[in-house]
Amino acid sequence: MSDLEIHAVRFDAPVAQRLIRDALADLGARYGGSGDETPVDAAEFAPPAGAFLVALLGGEPVGCGGWRSHGAAGDTAELKRMYVAPAARGRGVARAVLAAVERSARDHGRKRVILECGDRQPEAIALYTSGGYQRIPNFGFYKDEPGCLSFGRTL
């Protein structure tokens, strides 16, 4: 997709916050409430401890995803706020963002990526499993919630 660009931005940049609001609205429609109550601090997505990426398709922001460090060992990245706007879905944007997030994490010394996902996100589950992610024991904010699915992949 030649008109797709992926750039690192600050987590609190207006373009990132707009996409994150859309992502949370999508999750809220699926699960209720605000979509995701996981504590997130913008500073967690600043290099070298993390990164946040925005995808532009034809110059328009259509997707995002980021990673933050997870655990004391410093070799694991947690994928957060992965999202693609409905109008851009099915065009390879999510796969490209995921690959860019993984590259960024690898470039910053991470050897593994983990993530939490809900069972009402079949598109996300299909993306992760087709990308080599495997189920791992639940972790994080929703680890004890019904419908929580955790995945991991060695980089």
Write out pLDDT tens, residues 63-84.
Answer: 999 999 999 889 999 999 999 9
Separation between Cα atoms, residue 21 and residue 74, nearest integer Å: 29
The domain made up of 4-154 is a member of CATH 3.40.630.30: yes
For 87-113, the pLDDT digits (tens) are 999 999 999 999 999 999 999 999 999
Global pTM value: 0.96
Q: Identify the CA nearest to 44 among candidates 19, 69, 81.
A: 69
